[in-house]
Structure 1
């Protein structure tokens, strides 16, 4: 029951964050020309899609598959991460030469340690060993659960065929990876582990001493990250574990935060040639991610689009002797993503208002809305409220209603019907009066008889 509640709450949180994100409206090409085959960048504070390049294109998932394995683990065992399992020998052949955290058969690990190994080292043995143990050896059943959860999260272009990503049947899209990462970010354990530059694995049955796992997300490490290091980087994962694959391209899914503003970056299939930092280990997708991190934080910031103390519109008032018009104010400042060099004046405002309002009106009453657009795309809708109380004049109200009555269709219909009835009655009276009846009788005249 607790697992179901955890899943439900996480999905509610996710859906509340994902309601109708605005269309992409920003172009990084003046700052950096994206070379990835597909990409998807979203500001999670406003749900504004900052950049979208063929985000529904299906691509190999590779090591990013582990995000789904971790999602399934946290959905069911978020409060049991210190439980233990024994690394099964049965998965040894499958992960041979890709056991990136040196987790050996028959060693005992906690679920948390396995998550560290997956997130920091993209360790296939951690994903497969955990899946094998938790499923009772039914890896097909585990994969089926991965696909079911993926669909619940909202993915439409993803298919999962194993727990670690070695199988080429694992495919996904940039927008699907955004949804999965957004879901994972609702778990505190995931956020904490992802941001760790290193993790010390305790001594095990086949490791007499503890050993350190260095996070492959070098953008987190100021000491060893070099040009990749970004203070704003919070966590991320590549689709390959050794930064080299058969296709010569890489994908990277991550998120960054600066000054309280958070973005998710899903950069898929960046070509090897785009990494110009010059290190021996080329990281093209992470390279593009860092360039795009620089772009968003230099170009945009969360700002108020409206001033709640400034009237945006004025509307006529009926039935009041106090005022002929009513000023309308926004009911909130609508914090949104705007160019750092500008302010709310860069937005276009489209008002949705009635022709007039009728007194009485109370201050704070919602009268209409204003739609805000930036670069032609809607970024939000705000209520417009009355700025003052407006009382109703009984005399003006009564006079107006009297005018309305005499000018109403109802009265016109009554008058026409009454006139028709009156005409019919007059005609009937004329036709049925005694004089009319007498005159209508025939008169027969007879001459005198002759003598």
Structure 2
């Protein structure tokens, strides 16, 4: 059975590795994925573990709000004291959207309500609150939501999100809006680097306190992966952003850490009935759990090559009494691979020069070794000299002389001298003939 799984993993590796770049393998899980787009990456190695339609344009739903929060963190200097107001046009827009679409998520804010940007970011991250996203856009966009949307798209391009176009700060259904699972992973990784974001994404509940209108605000997370009483609870998951609309399906961008391994998963537009209920609103949670359980149980970081491994010898020139130079690997190489695959399955392909010329220092780069698994390159490590080799002065001088004879100018001078010699001999022959003729005439 173990040999069968080994063969299966090797076969999958052969058929699904992308290009020839290092650590870019994509594997197929042992279950079907109902989400329209999926992207799973190991953050420790930057290795893409699984992807399905990762570059397919899909409506972002509430995942668009992740960019709204990113811009708030980047643009608002003091979000705790920066106060935004619920303008009338925002309330009107939310009413219109709820009438036309239905089922939109709100934070319970009212016209003319004043609240800090910090609290609005919690409302967006915890509740997917659409009016809170609009209020952030109004504040950061200097009163213009369209201008804020332009900022969203400009920032997306700066981050390399080439498959993304936002049309709103909230992400409610709009066929003109689209992104990709790969782009969302880029955005999430950028967000994780911003100060204050981790507190936002890991909160499961938030006490917003009183405002000028509400006596008390309190929000509970929509991310059921982080709720201990939920059937979808996963202790390894922290954040990042969820989304759902009955016309689009369920969405989840999550971070999971367990036993020293870190993964980022993006699932978009999941509509398949999950194992816990028949509600599509929770489908992304069910699929996320299955994806993480598969990744954590299947892959391990293994040392595929140790530093100092001997790779024999390479021909050596210009060293007296020494014709070969010992070589070895320059570094360790570790990679995330299926646990069923042994490190001994790796093959080494050496790329070396025909010979090495002394002098050579110990540790000097000589070539490289390519690590190959099931016919696919998984990494490259330098090959260095395992010893020092001094050059012989006599052999070095002789080599320079020989090298000099191969130069263009040396050949030119030799040919030039040969031509002069031929001309001189020809001249001497002509002169001798003329002398003999002159001598006969005088006699």
**TM-score, structure 2 as length reference:** 0.83
Asked if structure 2 preserves the Cα contact closer than 8 Å seen for 1:28 and 1:295, the reply is no
Q: Which residue of 2 aligns with 1:245?
A: 246
Say if 1:255 and 1:237 are closer, same or farther in 2 by CA, change over 3 A. Answer: same
- Partners of 1:323 and 1:220 lie apart in 2 by 66
Structure 1 residue 69 displacement after superposition? 0.7
Say whether 1:160 aligns with 2:161. no
Structure 1 residue 24 displacement after superposition? 4.7
Say whether 1:112 aligns with 2:111. no
Structure 1 residue 45 displacement after superposition? 2.6
Q: Secondary structure at the match of 2:287?
A: helix
| Residues 166-210 of structure 1: per-residue CA shift (max 9 Å, x gap) | 251321111211111121111132122212222222233344345
Q: Which residue of 1 aligns with 2:209?
A: 202
Structure 1 residue 65 displacement after superposition? 1.1
Q: How many residue pairs end up in the alignment?
A: 416
Q: Which residue of 1 aligns with 2:369?
A: 370
Say whether 1:268 aligns with 2:275. no
**Any stretches of 5+ residues in structure 1 without a counterpart?**
1-19, 446-451
Q: Which residue of 2 aligns with 1:133?
A: 139
**Any stretches of 5+ residues in structure 2 without a counterpart?**
1-19, 99-103
Say whether 1:186 aligns with 2:190. no
Q: Secondary structure at the match of 1:283?
A: helix
Q: Which residue of 1 aligns with 2:229?
A: 224
- Partners of 2:352 and 2:255 lie apart in 1 by 40
Q: Which residue of 1 aligns with 2:237?
A: 233
- Higher RCO (C-alpha under 8 Å, 6+ residues apart): 2
Structure 1 residue 145 displacement after superposition? 0.9
Structure 1 residue 266 displacement after superposition? 1.8
**TM-score, structure 1 as length reference:** 0.82
Q: Secondary structure at the match of 1:316?
A: strand
Asked if structure 2 preserves the Cα contact closer than 8 Å seen for 1:39 and 1:55, the reply is yes
Q: Secondary structure at the match of 1:230?
A: coil
Q: Which residue of 2 aligns with 1:4?
A: none
- Partners of 2:233 and 2:325 lie apart in 1 by 54
Structure 1 residue 84 displacement after superposition? 2.9
| Residues 205-263 of structure 1: per-residue CA shift (max 9 Å, x gap) | 3443453x222111122x2232x2222212132331xxx5124x333222222233322
Structure number with greater Rg is 1
Q: Which residue of 1 aligns with 2:7?
A: none
Say if 1:131 and 1:422 are closer, same or farther in 2 by CA, change over 3 A. Answer: same
| Residues 283-317 of structure 1: per-residue CA shift (max 9 Å, x gap) | 11222221111122112133333211322453222
- Partners of 1:130 and 1:409 lie apart in 2 by 72
Q: Which residue of 2 aligns with 1:307?
A: 306
| Residues 337-384 of structure 1: per-residue CA shift (max 9 Å, x gap) | 222344544444333322222111122222223333445554443322
Structure 1 residue 63 displacement after superposition? 0.9
Say whether 1:430 aligns with 2:426. no
Q: Secondary structure at the match of 1:397?
A: helix
- Partners of 1:268 and 1:24 lie apart in 2 by 22
Say if 1:78 and 1:57 are closer, same or farther in 2 by CA, change over 3 A. Answer: farther
Q: Which residue of 1 aligns with 2:55?
A: 56
Say whether 1:338 aligns with 2:344. no
Q: Secondary structure at the match of 2:268?
A: strand
| Residues 399-433 of structure 1: per-residue CA shift (max 9 Å, x gap) | 44445556777666654543443232112101112
